[in-house]
């Protein structure tokens, strides 16, 4: 296992997610069962609270909450695997931008499509890191040569497994994952060699996200059940 000192950002994000799960237990959950009420109390992304209550901070806190030990373990293993590689190739600032842009972008899309649900989890952000690595490797494909071709095979297999898992397991929001993946691919490609365009991309996407959030808050109306999505 790698030293936390070598990959401080990846380990820091893992630690925050573990602390988030502890907070869920304090909010009334049990180790194996986190009720929806606990997810809302601890900062899950819930449209009435965000759009009517103005609690936009939930778009950040929701990234560190998970629906159970299996959900937490799967995401943290994935983050441990891909996060360390991203941390090797990307500056820490770029890593942070890609992580939060992908995660929050996924939440906004999911909240648009599923306003009656509680949305949680780092999956969209982690898909963003996978996408960023793919975009980066594509930009440098000539430099990596055979390693790039091997990466494409492994990357494709991992994506296929995750997408099949998303389709087969109830309660998983494919839209957030795909949004994170797309933002990550574009951002990673630009960060691979066109840093000025990467920061322009960050600004443009951030403005579009703010505009869409404002639109949602103006047009918001919710009906139906409450259920967790991650």
Question: Which residues are the active-site residues?
Answer: 123, 177
DSSP states of 8-23: HHHHHHHHHHHHHHHH
Describe the strand order of the beta sheet including 228-229 as a list of residue ranges: 45-46, 118-119, 228-229
N- to C-terminal Cα separation, the chain: 27
Distances (CA, A) of 202 to 56, 101, 102, 111, 181: 19, 8, 11, 21, 15
Q: Which two tokens stand for residue 213?
A: 């959030």
Q: Which two tokens stand for residue 91?
A: 């500056």
DSSP type of residue 226: -
Residues 178 and 123: their CA atoms lie apart, in Å, by 10
73-77's contacts with Cβ under 8 Å and 24+ in sequence apart are 75/17, 75/121, 75/122, 75/123, 75/126, 76/14, 76/17, 76/18
């Amino acid at each position: 296992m790698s030293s936390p000192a070598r990959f401080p950002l990846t380990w820091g994000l893992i630690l925050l997610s573990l602390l988030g799960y502890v907070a869920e237990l304090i909010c009334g959950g049990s180790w194996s069962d986190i009720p929806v009420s606990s997810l809302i109390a601890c900062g899950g992304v819930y449209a009435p609270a965000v759009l009517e209550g103005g609690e936009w901070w939930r778009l950040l806190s929701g990234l560190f909450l998970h629906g159970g030990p299996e959900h937490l373990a799967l995401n943290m293993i994935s983050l441990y695997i891909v996060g360390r590689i991203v941390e090797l190739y990307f500056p820490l600032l770029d890593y942070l931008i890609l992580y939060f842009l992908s995660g929050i972008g996924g939440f906004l899309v999911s909240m648009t499509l599923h306003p009656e649900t509680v949305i949680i989890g780092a999956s969209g952000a982690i898909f963003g890191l996978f996408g960023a690595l793919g975009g980066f490797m594509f930009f440098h494909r000539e430099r990596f040569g055979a390693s790039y071709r091997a990466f494409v095979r492994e990357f494709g297999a991992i994506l296929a497994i995750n997408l099949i898992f998303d389709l087969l397991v109830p309660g998983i929001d494919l839209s957030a994952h795909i949004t994170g993946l797309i933002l990550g691919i574009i951002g990673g490609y630009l960060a691979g060699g066109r840093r000025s365009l990467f920061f322009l991309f960050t600004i443009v996407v951030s403005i579009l996200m703010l505009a869409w959030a404002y639109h949602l808050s103006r047009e918001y109306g919710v009906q139906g059940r409450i259920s967790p999505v991650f």
